[in-house]
Structure 1
């Protein structure tokens, strides 16, 4: 039996701000992880490539309002910082 990936532990090094902000980033990161896992069976962010995250931002958030896409973009930037990847995405 394998343990599930702990997104909170993964992001703890880069999470800053108020408690509500940290909780929002964790909630959004878990949703991103679940969507990518469902689509490509990639359980951890270490296995993700830029195309996976771009797919999430472009397709799964296409019908969302601009503010929602912006907040998810902030979470993606935290994920990229934690993965030490030079990924740049547009809103």
Structure 2
């Protein structure tokens, strides 16, 4: 059995803001991770490609409010920064 990926440790270097903001980013990042793992069997963010995050934004968040999509976009940008990628995502 493999160890579960520690998203809090992964994002520790790029998380800023209040405690509530950091907790929201961690909760959303864990949710993004679980959905990508279900769809593509890639539980580790280092294995993700831009298409995985675009899929999450375009397909999984369909029907959600504009505010919800915006907050997930902020978390995805944070993940891209941590991965040191210059990926750009549409709002």
**TM-score interval, smaller chain:** over 0.9
Give the whole-Å Cα distance in 2 for the aligned partners of 1:73 and 1:11: 15
Deviations 1:17-58 (A, max 9, x none): 000000000000000000000000001100000000000000
Structure 1 residue runs of 4 or more that deviate by more than 2 Å after TM superposition:
none
- Supply the RMSD in Å over aligned alpha carbons: 0.5
Question: Within 5 Å, which residues of 2 pair with 1:65-84?
Answer: 65-84=65-84
**Counterpart of 2:39?**
39
* SS of equivalent residue, structure 1 residue 51: helix
Deviations 1:1-25 (A, max 9, x none): 2110000000000000000000000
Aligned length: 91
> Which segments of 5 or more consecutive residues in structure 1 lack a partner in the other structure?
none
Matched, 1:6 2:25: no
TM-score by length of 1: 0.98
